[in-house]
Amino acid sequence: MARRKKQRVRQKGKISLSRYFQKLETGQKVAIRPEASLPSSAHLRVRGRVGVIEARRGRAYIVRVRVGGQFKRLILRPIHLLKLS
């Protein structure tokens, strides 16, 4: 059974502006963490995966992620991405 997209009680309805406007560099590693309070979020199949920033497209980023046995390119807004060191 699939888990529902759900936020903790204290985070419900809030959008972190620092995550919304964060700047990411090409080649940087990021984790995909969908923001549940936005209707257009990342697909749950790629939730928690680690990818690499390839380019910027408008306000979004192109992220290269391994799904199954192949690499896919996803176009995601920065609020759905979490920087990794």
DSSP codes of every residue in 26-67: TT-EEEE---TTSSS---GGGTT-EEEEEEEETTEEEEEEEE
Nearest to 64 by CA among 17, 24, 13: 24
Domain-located, residue 18:
no
Q: How many domains does the chain have?
A: 1
- Looking up residue 65, the CATH number of its domain turns out to be 2.30.30.70
Instruction: Report the 10 Å Cβ neighbour count for 38.
Output: 13
Domain-located, residue 74:
yes
| pTM, two decimal places | 0.81
Digitized pLDDT (tens) for each residue of the chain, 85 residues in all? 566 667 778 777 778 888 889 999 999 999 998 887 777 777 778 889 999 999 999 999 999 999 889 999 999 999 999 999 7
Nearby residues of 9 by Cβ (< 8 Å), 6 or more positions away: none
